[in-house]
Amino acid sequence: MFSLNRRTALAVCAGMLACASAWSQTPAAFPDKPIRMVVPFPPGGPTDLVARVLAQKMSDQMGQQVVIDNKPGANGNIAAELVAKAPADGYTVLYNTSSIALSATLYKKLNYDVKTDFSPVALTAVIPLALMVHPSVPVNNLDQFVQYIKANPGKVSYGSAGNGNITHLGAFLILQQKGVQANHIPYKGSIPALTDLVGGQTQFMTDTVNSALPFIKDNKLRAIAVTSLKRTAVLPQVPTLNELGMSQFEVGAWQGVLAPAKTPPEIVSRLNAEINKALAAPDVKAKLAVQGADPLGSTPAEYSQYIKNEIDRFANVIRQSGVTIE
């Protein structure tokens, strides 16, 4: 029969206590080197701008740099796959957007599973969309907009940042709920879509308010409504679709942070606390407000459920739109 003498027993106990102590200190020691925050879109875009504000504040709070690493392509899937396969140590995280929930249905094949390959950290912000028309379109409100489409069957077109993008599905939902149809023209990003709208090649579009704001302020585009439940501070004169009779209509380009699956809960909790602290800071709120972004914040569990709800919500919308990507 196996037995321990007193000295051996004491040595084993000491070793166990040392291990337990080391483990308990791990969250406090994190981070002891820079954190890589992978952004799935190019520098200077609406997602990148918000991520940089958050990363800078987190760097100041944590005493370690949170470094932005832009990995654009495939509607965010290149960055998502990279982070899904990264070490689960908290030093590589994904600054994701609503695209990750859309991709779950939109793409026939993905090299990651959003529900199992990530540890949700926090929901960070949402940027509402603006429904805009070219100035030549003779409408000033939602009812006139709907009547204009009805009066010009097959002649009205709208652009988007790409098939299945939130800028596509936002417009699709408005048209669907109003019982009208228009021709969808997908572009490779918001900038070329906005350029053609300003040039009169298309008649309307839904895009994030921060992307659209310069064109609206210069009277190159006319804003009809925004897709948030309350008016946005950057376009206070523009009503919400909810105000205009589309009850509880809400679509936005939301953002958050994901870590690789199996990241230790203590590290996820530390990241979550730092993100929520940053989002509550007055200077961060001010910087995001300029971009039309509303800071949110959440627990990891709340963000996990939010993603699942958004996947389910838009799965039917994507199927109804008839869009799939190989």
Condensed to tens digits (0 to 9), the pLDDT of residues 73-127 reads 888 999 999 999 999 999 999 999 999 999 999 998 999 999 999 999 999 999 9
pTM for the full model?
A: 0.84
CA 6 vs CA 3, 11, 13, 17, 309: distances in Å: 10, 9, 11, 16, 57
The domain spans of the chain are 33-127+253-321, 128-226
Per-residue pLDDT band at 220 (split at 50, 70, 90): very high
Tokens of 295: 């800071």
Binned at pLDDT 50, 70 and 90, residue 170 comes out as very high
Q: How confident is the model at residue 323 (pLDDT cuts 50, 70, 90)?
A: confident
In percent, the amount of the chain with pLDDT more than 70 equals 91
pLDDT for the residue 74: 86
Computed over every residue of the chain, the mean pLDDT equals 90
At 310, the amino acid letter reads E
Residues contacting residue 19 through CB under 8 Å, at least 6 positions apart = none
- pLDDT at 18 > cutoff 80: no
Instruction: Look at the chain and count its residues.
Output: 326
pLDDT of residue 203: 98
Domain 128-226 has CATH 3.40.190.10: yes
Q: Nearest CA to 188 among 39, 45, 288, 82?
A: 45
pLDDT at residue 61 tops 90: yes
Asked whether the predicted pLDDT for residue 253 surpasses 80, the reply is yes
**Alpha carbon distance 238, 226 (integer Å):** 7
Nearest of 222, 220, 151, 138 to residue 182 by alpha carbon? 151
CATH of 33-127+253-321, one of 3.40.190.10, 3.50.50.60, 3.40.190.150, 3.30.56.10: 3.40.190.150
**pLDDT of residue 191 exceeding 90:** no
Tell me if domain 33-127+253-321 and domain 128-226 are identical in fold: yes
> Does 28 score more than 90 pLDDT?
no
Distances (CA, A) of 318 to 93, 156, 175, 203, 322: 27, 21, 14, 23, 6
DSSP sequence for 170-191: HHHHHHHHHT---EEEE-SSHH
Look at residue 155 in the predicted model and tell me its pLDDT. 97
Q: Which amino acid type is present at position 150?
A: K
Taking residues 238-254, report their average pLDDT.
Answer: 95
The amino acid at 191: I
**Which residue in 98, 101, 94 sits closest to 261, CA to CA?**
94
Only one residue has tokens 């489409």, namely: 149
pLDDT top residue among 266 and 191: 266
Q: What is the pLDDT of residue 16?
A: 41
pLDDT at 44 (0 to 100): 82
> Among 176-180, 187-191, 192-196, 301-305, which is the least confidently predicted range?
187-191
